[in-house]
Amino acid sequence: MTNYTLYGSQMSYFSGKARAYLDWKGVDYTEYPPTPDVMRNVIVAKVGWPVIPVVKTPDDRIVQDTADIIADIEASQPTPAVLPEGAVQRFVSYLIQLFADEWLIIPAMHYRWNHNEDWIYSQFGKSAAPDGTPEEQYEAGKVVGGRFRAFVPLLGVSDVTSPGIEASYEAFLADFSAHLERHDYVFGGQASLADFALYGPLYAHQYRDPYTGDLMQRIAPRVAAWVERLMAGAPSSGPLLSGDQIPDTLLPILARQMGEQLPVLLATDTMLAAWAKDAQSQEELPRGFDMTAFTTGGHSGICMARTFSLLRLQTALDARDRLSSEDRSRAEDMLGKVGGNALNKFTLAAKLERRNYKLCLA
């Protein structure tokens, strides 16, 4: 009998992140797909809406959201630790999680729905209609997939921005490949939170979907090999980098984040400030505010100012605020090199928290 249950899917962005962590951690678990019965009788019944991944703990608690899943397991099984010991490395881990969870979703959704649409309908159908014919599964998959497809324009994906999305993603692959020439994982010879966060999109959407899988193997084989190491349980090849080092090869990735994602985060925070003026204490936030301008790969458009991104930003800022004065100076110097000076003194307009599986004012 296993201890944990993971309700997830191979094609799910965040299921990939959770699964890679569970495998690396050595957690005893069984994974079940989100069939209609599971979605209705387990997930919606407990969480309130259809979402994966969800974990059921040995004491029958339901945990949703990858950050909460990881924190819950780390609290009871602290070794091996998913976060580096170095305080600046931890801060950067949370920055990379913010980038992976909330920005790489743009190319992930673009490629899936503009290059892999028919294939993903058949994949969704295998969960939605497990006993159906391939034709029935495809039609069932269109119903399920249509809900995700409708979200794509809100991410800013359009005919105007698609060339920039692809240019930025391919540049990211080049930057990550250059890093992986020198290090097997983000912070050296062991996997950590930053690796699992990046694995979510890079496995579930980009490696596994046929068009993007071929693209990755062709232009970024080192990234494909990194995906395969994490699929195998992330075997260590050495220690984490000593002395709380941030390798120079991560700086281009962080610079991309600061140049593209940070302006959207700052605009979203401005909208949070306006919304919070009339909100009640502990009020639930909307999924997004208004549309806001963004630029990626030299192409500009508009995207939804998504509120959950601010929670991931808050986690990084909390880690920044826990730094010693010496470590804070090192972090500020690093942010200056990557165009992130705006984060050095920045605080969110309102404190956020998760309550009953929902994002709320603290």
pLDDT, tens only, 6-53: 999 999 999 999 999 999 999 999 999 998 899 999 999 999 999 999
Contacts 24+ apart (CB under 8 A), 328-336: 330/88, 330/244, 331/88, 331/91, 334/88, 334/92, 334/246, 334/251, 334/254, 335/258
* Cα 126 from Cα 145, distance rounded (Å): 12
C-alpha 81/C-alpha 191 separation (Å) is 10
Kindly tell me the burial class for residue 256, based on how many C-beta atoms sit within 10 Å of its own C-beta (0-12, 13-18, 19 or more). Answer: buried
pLDDT of res. 178: 98
Give the pLDDT confidence of 47-91 residue by residue, as tens digits: 999 999 999 999 999 999 999 999 999 999 999 999 999 999 999
* pLDDT for residue 1: 46
What CATH number does residue 204 fall under? 1.20.1050.10
Please answer whether residues 319 and 91 qualify as being in contact, where contact means their C-beta atoms are separated by less than 8 angstroms: yes
Q: Do 33 and 52 belong to one domain?
A: yes
Domain that holds residue 29: 4-76
Specify the number of domains making up the chain.
3
What would the pLDDT profile of 119-159 be if each residue is shown by its tens digit?
Answer: 899 888 888 888 899 888 889 888 888 888 899 999 999 99
CB 185 within 8 A of CB 193: no
For residue range 284-338, what is the model confidence (pLDDT) as tens digits? 999 999 999 999 999 999 999 999 999 999 999 999 999 999 999 999 999 999 9
Say what the pLDDT of residue 235 is: 96
- Pairing relationship of beta strands 4-7 and 29-32 according to DSSP bridges: parallel
- Domain of 38, CATH number, reads 3.40.30.10
Q: How far apart are CA 128 and CA 298, in angstroms?
A: 39
116 and 50 share one domain: no
Question: What pLDDT was estimated at residue 250?
Answer: 98
Verify that 70 and 142 share a domain, yes or no.
no
What does the angle CA 347 – CA 348 – CA 351 come to, to the nearest 5 degrees?
120
Domain shared by 123 and 205, yes or no: yes
Tell whether 120 and 220 lie within a shared domain.
yes
Return d(Cα 362, Cα 354) in angstroms, integer: 8
Residue 237 lies in a domain: yes
150 lies in the same domain as 166: yes
Tell me if 48 is assigned to some domain. Answer: yes
Residue type for 296, please?
T
Measured on CA atoms in the order 90, 96, 100, 101, is the torsion positive or negative?
A: positive
Q: Parallel, antiparallel, or unpaired for β 299-306 and 288-296?
A: antiparallel
pLDDT of 204 higher than 60: yes
The pTM of the whole model exceeds 0.75: yes
- Which residues share a beta bridge with 299? 296
pLDDT at residue 27, as a whole number: 96
* 81 in a structural domain: no
